[in-house]
Structure formats: structure tokens, C-alpha cells
Amino acid sequence: MLDKISRFFLPPAKSTFAPSVDNLFSFITLVSLIILIGITVAMIYFMIKYRKRSDDDVTSLVDHNNALEVTWSIIPLGLVLIVFSWGFRDYIKMFTPPSDAYEVNVTAQQWLWKFTYPNGKTSVGKLYVPQDRPVKLVMKSKDVIHSFFVPDFRIKHDVLPDRYTNVWFQAPDTGRSQIFCTQYCGRGHSDMLGTVIVEPQSKFDGWLKEGAGGKPANMTLAEFGKQLYASQGCKACHSTDGSRVVGPSWKGLFGRKVDLTDGSTVTADENYIRQSILNPGSQIVQGYPNVMPTFQGQLSNDQIDGIIAYIKSLK
């Protein structure tokens, strides 16, 4: 019965400890429902049975009932202790990763997730992990408080500036799951999304050995850039419709004169865009904050070319 309740209310369970979390949730829901029904039925019964039938009715003096008072104290106490011990057991399990867990560093910043793997490879917005292997996330923030949340895995933990926090999971099946930031972190908070991609160990090992990822053969360079605009977190800060977000809009950017905070003016050509991607702090557009992270070492030349082609297509 607990499994049926959890399947009705909750997203798919895709980690090893998700079923236990779901069962606890279902247990609390079921017990609360039983208590609610019991109290409601008792209230209705007493309202009918002891209603005032005439003006001569006088409320009788009711003394306390020791057995009843002990019962309604012991039963709730027992339920609270069950929920506490169950939850505490799961809490200890969820925050005690196995010693052989595969470790990935997570960096949160407005408004993207960056993942760094033990061999030095990085990805933005997409967390690749091996199937059926414990994965430990060591997380930190570069600016404000964020919160890493994967509903399918039943994991959620705050990501703090100047401090490391960690959480772990083990996904027995391949597939994709959504990452959310559940701590309001500024204007682009709702766009701070990501994806966990669980792959077989052999495929994951192959991905680790690959380069940063080239253009698919069936895509134009601009289409490839549009894909990167979404997957690399660019859309959190740059619009493509001319509206102002955090950074300058990409619409009509290419070939335009851009005023910088140092008083100089540059033309938004290929070199300017490449420099802005690799060393964004060197050319700050007037009226915008210096908050963009560097993508040095994260994007290949093909990917940068794709982004430039996409910006050109928005002219």
C-alpha cells in the first residue's frame, strides 16, 4: 500500500534510497489520513449525540478519564518515535557516502551549475554519472546561497559560499533527471536548471575520455550554437529577443558597436565574442555587472565557433 501511495504523489524513484524516503512519506500521509478521518467522524458523532435538544438541557459535568488520556498520549508519542527513528536512519544513510564513491565537484553560481570530474573534465548544466555506482557531490557556491535538488533521487542540499557541503546518491538505472535550484538566488533563479545523465559505466568512461564535444554531423554550426546556448547555461543571463536580463542580449549583437565601462568602444565581432567567453572580465559592457564566469577550458574551439555562428544568426 505504501508503494501505491508514493507512486501516486511523487515523481519516479531513481536512486537506491528513494524507496525508503517514499515509504516514510506514504506512512506519514496514511497515518495522518486515518487520524483525520477518525477525528472528523468522532466530531460529527458527538455533535449529533450530544446536541442541545431543548432549552432545558443542561451540560453534564464530565470528569477526566485516565485510560483515555493515557491512550491519546501514548499512541501519538509512539508514532512520533517511529517517524523520528525512520527519518534519522535515512538521514544518516543519505549523508554518509561509501568510501569508494565517485567524487564530482559542483560549483553553483548565478545562474548555472558547473561540474568538475576527477580527470579535470568539466561540464555545465549536465551532470554525467555512471550507472549503479555511488556518486558523491562536493558542492560550493561562488556567490550566494543555492540549493541542489533532484526530485527523482530525493536529494536536496544547500550550496553555500566559502564552505563545502556534500550529498551522494546511487542510480541503478540509466536515464535523465531534472536538477533544480530551490533557493531563490536572484533574477535568473528559475532558469538555473540542469540535467543528471546516468549512463552505463563503459559509456560514461568513453565520455570522460572524449573532448569537449564536437558538432553533430546533421547540425549546422548555428544550430549547434543554439543547442549550446541552452545546455551551457547562456540563456540564464543572455536573451535572444532583445530583452534585458543579466547580461547583454544576443539579438542584433554581432557587428554592433559596444560601449565598455572603461570608456572605450569595440565592435562585436568574432574576436570580441571569443574574448568575452574566455575572459569575460576584460571587456565589461557599460551598464552591466561583471558577473560572467570564464569558460576557459570548458568549451572547445568548435563549440565557441558554434556560439558565434548562432549569435550571427540573430542579427
**Of 150, 181, 209, which one is at a domain's C-terminal end?**
209
Q: Do residues 247 and 264 share a domain?
A: yes
Of 151, 122, 157, 123, nearest to 137 (Cα)? 157
**What is the model's pLDDT at position 200?**
93
| Residue 112 belongs to some domain of the structure | yes
Tell me the three cell numbers of residue 194.
Answer: 540542469
Of 277, 233, 230, 232, nearest to 253 (Cα)? 277
β-bridge pairing 265-267 and 257-259: antiparallel
**What is the model's pLDDT at position 82?**
92
Residue whose C-alpha cell is 533532484:
150
| Residue 255 belongs to some domain of the structure | yes
Tell me the three cell numbers of residue 49.
Answer: 449525540
| Residue 193 belongs to some domain of the structure | yes
| C-alpha dihedral (217, 226, 114, 207), degrees to nearest 10 | -10
**Domain housing 250:** 221-313
Residue whose C-alpha cell is 547555461:
233
| Residue 198 belongs to some domain of the structure | yes
- The arrangement of strands across the sheet holding 155-159 comes to 126-130, 194-199, 175-181, 146-150, 155-159
Of 204, 87, 183, nearest to 135 (Cα)? 204
What's the chain's length in residues?
Answer: 315
Q: Do residues 116 and 190 share a domain?
A: yes
Q: Do residues 81 and 107 share a domain?
A: no
Q: Do residues 84 and 160 share a domain?
A: no
How distant, in Å, are the alpha carbons of 212, 217, 295, 305, 306 from that of 301? Answer: 9, 16, 11, 6, 9
Which pLDDT tens digits describe the chain residue by residue (315 residues)? 556 555 666 778 888 888 888 888 888 888 999 999 999 999 999 888 888 777 777 777 777 778 888 888 898 899 999 999 998 988 888 888 888 888 888 888 888 898 888 777 778 888 999 999 999 998 888 889 999 999 999 989 999 987 888 899 999 999 999 999 999 988 888 888 889 999 999 888 888 876 545 666 677 878 888 888 888 878 888 888 888 888 888 988 888 898 888 888 988 888 888 888 888 888 888 888 888 888 887 777 778 878 888 888 887
Q: Do residues 150 and 168 share a domain?
A: yes
**What is the model's pLDDT at position 214?**
61
How many C-beta neighbours within 10 Å does residue 248 have? 19
| Residue 55 belongs to some domain of the structure | no
**What is the model's pLDDT at position 148?**
94
CB 76 within 8 A of CB 28: no
CATH number, position 12: 1.10.287
**What is the model's pLDDT at position 246?**
83
Q: How far apart are CA 190 and CA 104, in angstroms?
A: 24
Q: Do residues 306 and 227 share a domain?
A: yes
Element (H, E) at 72: helix 66-94
Q: Do residues 161 and 203 share a domain?
A: yes
Which residues does residue 127 pair with via DSSP β-bridges, in sequence order?
196
Q: Do residues 77 and 116 share a domain?
A: no
